[in-house]
Structure 1
Amino acid sequence: MPHLKVIPINRADQTRRRLTQAMGTVLARVGFEAATVDLVIAEAGLKRGDFYRYFTRLSQLVAAYAHSGAFWPNAGDLIGRDREKLRRMSPDQLVAAFFKRTLRLLLDRPESLAIMAWEALSRNDLSRALEGVRERSALEFFELMEQDPPVDVDVTALVLFLAGGVNFLAVRSLVTGCVGGVDLVSPAGWARIEETIDLIVRRTLAHGPS
């Protein structure tokens, strides 16, 4: 009877973890067009066989990285212990809280910000593997909204607009300390951004369009 080679569960988990961590590092360094299996396994210090034992293509590993929590804050990260507090918020307060919390968590993820910069330059199977995790995080967070926003406000467009601004400023903070006269290094500078998020959302959702 042939001997079956069994890979211990903890070793399998460790290998997958090394691969997902290496995937993030490679994407941040070379982007979506240049990322390859060889670059990932070299970064992880593994062999090609280690990769193909768990994944059939690179986009699967990118998806695993996306859902690992290292790339994007999930709803649990954003909510923390404040679920009931958030549930009691008005729509404008909840939307503002979402973007302010997302911004703070992104600033602690320089690797993710570097990947987002590359993402602005190309879209392929690898970049698409990252897209769903952000949408899921937002949808799960906004399930806490118990009050309806004004029917005459395009909330989807508002959220898209704010996401673009927050993501841009977070990415730019990697390479410059100041944009348009706003300090992106000091807490005071980011407080200005957060106050403006509050103002935009409050004037849009609390009162509706004039």
Structure 2
Amino acid sequence: MTETLPSVHLDDEWLRMFYEQVGRELSLARESQRETHTWVITLTAGVFTAFLTFGGNGFNYPTENAFLAVLIILPLLFRFFVRSCLEYEILHRWTVLRNALDAYFFARSHMPDKVTDASRHLRDVIPKYYFAWYAARPFGRMLVDNIKLAYGWPFIVFSALLVWGLMMQHKSSVICGCLAAFVVWMVLELYWFMTYHGFKHLKPETDFGLKGLAGDFGVPEKK
């Protein structure tokens, strides 16, 4: 079933108020994403520092307490990843909207022949990315970009610790209970993550924005 998106009337006063809101939200999303990435790096470094400190002269892993710590930290790390993905999509939603608004206002002031294309693009992206809250970037691209930005080595490190602990650690009743809780929680997290509406990508039917004006200034398009 296709969702019916609301139509948008390009009222000047509303657009200028909306432009101010977009600017504020864009700055907030960028700052929030930066802080989340900082927390992830701090968390990973802190865990390794704790392991080395409490391990004495050597890296004493896997002990039961250390393995339990990994089982607690991995869901927390994944929760940070989910938050980063949310912030990533929010950032790109506002970026697409801001670029479309910039192109529209610029075309109105300097390129009247482009106003029709710019307004059509604006009417396309506002319902999709503001009212319906679709994702501006594909799901796979979102995953890859966030892993490259901050999560590649933390995921590798903690996954290796998890596998190492599973192979070497004695499976006491406490360990088995925590493992069961870990698996159930991660399955739920993955389900919520994969089915969240805000991660569903809907590509614009028009392709204008600032890129639509680039050729008029002799700017080559990306290959």
TM-score (norm 1): 0.32
The structure number with the bigger radius of gyration is 2
Structure ranking higher in helix proportion: 2
